[in-house]
Structure 1
């Protein structure tokens, strides 16, 4: 029996459309998997998390720095890209009190593992830090939960959270130009303070204001006094010694007999690294939580 010609054309057309849709679906799926794939990172000798990212289509190595407030690139890297200066600027302070008055630049693109983060700005800092090109702050992740897996040294975006324990965080949002995260901790089981959570501090970093030594009944004579100059030539005294205990407000994480520094002029009650909170951390700014898988 002969099949009418119009039916043959119709069948072929349907097959072509089906194949085309399947190919598009596969491409979309593969692209989605690539975007959400685990992103490897390095940890340098200081405990900094080093990731690769592209700013204005140029790839560099950046510290993932939850305490930097805003994205920053170093002068050497800025010479590799086209910088779109704005009339915006930001005035803030480093942890040890130095004022920063920096110009802001619009990023044409900021890309991490093929995921593009729109409407980003950065500043340019005249510093040299080995082969590091700058710092990626929490700015790109305002609406994107970011998971830091210290076990496998990977980062994942939008990881589903299932029955994970968590701690509350407080968000310091400086008019959309910079963002920091804090949480409450307790020192020596009797002094509740708020501490900046700063992955840029490296590993096992515990700084506290020297104002807290008196309420903690700590004698400066029992600590080693070390005057330290910052990259901006401001000198602060650091009183270095041991603190008996620190734990999160909900007592989920606790450390005893930790090395700590009490710092003159520290603008925060405390500033700590984030590695002590757990081995797999999901920072969710929208929910004001850090979820802890391990």
Structure 2
């Protein structure tokens, strides 16, 4: 959610899981026109439609959806996060009994509740639900697969293993990063953000000159400003252009040619990207600090 993509609150915000050890659990998902992974989840017996958001940091429910639920408890504490542009956001924290995704259960999750309208979506499911559970996003079969120790071992033998760097704050939020190379020249650490949609790339504008981007060339670079949804006095400058290539560091076979990139002034990361470009089957293992991309 720390990406500044078209999702309004996904950039604004920033349990132990349990699962049967005997069989994989597969949960069907859909791909929204925006490229977001959408899954069904049951929160305290109420089913909703959620975005699977590896960049959300923290699970979020809309106020409209949470009003349908019993036993939602407001905690006596709050959390301060920063948008990708550095804007500070402070929100109250809540907890509830459990989140069920298929047969997979996340008991006692910590969440945020916001009075926002997300269209057909009731909120975001973050990586906090999976901090101890490897899972696979299978874009071909459109399934979210909860891995067993045996199936996970097979994934490792058949895939490319990319190292992940983990950012966790006070055991409340969780995000993952990996290194990429831009134009075979610049190595940057990207937030991996499935909540950005599909084929979305953001890079800190300070790297424009290093990558040889001439912002005065309006035939190749489009500049615009975007006002904050929370503070209209804050504007962010964005430069849109294409780069030659983005590839996973040490895995040149995992790459995308001539992607459109938004260079963002004040971005608090080197860059961010969506998940889909890494491959068709992507296994995320937070506790092992690795992402396995099927060959």
TM-score (norm 1): 0.86
Aligned length: 264
Q: Partner of 1:70 in structure 2?
A: 58
Question: Which deviates the most, 232-241 or 84-93?
Answer: 232-241
Q: Secondary structure at the match of 2:84?
A: coil
Q: Secondary structure at the match of 1:117?
A: strand
- Quote the RMSD (CA, aligned, Å): 1.8
Mapping of 1:24-173 within 5 angstroms?
36-82=24-70, 83-159=72-148, 160-161=151-152, 162=154, 163=157, 164-173=159-168
- The whole-number CA distance in structure 2 between the counterparts of 1:286 and 1:244 is 34
Q: Does the CA-based 8 Å contact 2:192-2:274 persist in structure 1?
A: yes
- The whole-number CA distance in structure 1 between the counterparts of 2:223 and 2:171 is 38
Q: Partner of 2:241 in structure 1?
A: 241
Post-superposition offset of 1:229: 2.9
Q: Partner of 2:281 in structure 1?
A: 280
Q: Partner of 2:186 in structure 1?
A: 191
Post-superposition offset of 1:43: 0.7
- The whole-number CA distance in structure 1 between the counterparts of 2:23 and 2:107 is 15
1:47-76 per-position Cα deviation (integer Å, ceiling 9, x unaligned): 000001111221111100000100001111
Post-superposition offset of 1:231: 3.1
Post-superposition offset of 1:119: 3.0
Q: Does the CA-based 8 Å contact 1:208-1:262 persist in structure 2?
A: yes
- The whole-number CA distance in structure 2 between the counterparts of 1:126 and 1:148 is 29
Post-superposition offset of 1:151: 0.4
Post-superposition offset of 1:33: 9.6
- The whole-number CA distance in structure 2 between the counterparts of 1:33 and 1:62 is 25
- The whole-number CA distance in structure 2 between the counterparts of 1:266 and 1:75 is 29
- The whole-number CA distance in structure 1 between the counterparts of 2:23 and 2:99 is 14
2:174 aligned residue (164, 173, 179): 179
- Where structure 1 has 5 or more consecutive residues not aligned to the other structure, the ranges are 1-30
Q: Partner of 1:224 in structure 2?
A: 222
Q: Does the CA-based 8 Å contact 1:35-1:113 persist in structure 2?
A: no
Instruction: Name the structure where helix makes up a greater proportion of residues.
Output: 1
Question: Which deviates the most, 226-235 or 209-218?
Answer: 226-235
Q: Secondary structure at the match of 1:139?
A: helix
- The whole-number CA distance in structure 1 between the counterparts of 2:29 and 2:113 is 23
- The whole-number CA distance in structure 2 between the counterparts of 1:229 and 1:46 is 21
Mapping of 1:8-19 within 5 angstroms?
none
Q: Which of the pair has the greater relative contact order for Cα pairs under 8 Å at 6+ separation?
A: 2
1:136-186 per-position Cα deviation (integer Å, ceiling 9, x unaligned): 000010110011000010001015232121111100011100000000111
Post-superposition offset of 1:132: 0.3
Q: Secondary structure at the match of 1:220?
A: coil
- The whole-number CA distance in structure 2 between the counterparts of 1:33 and 1:230 is 45
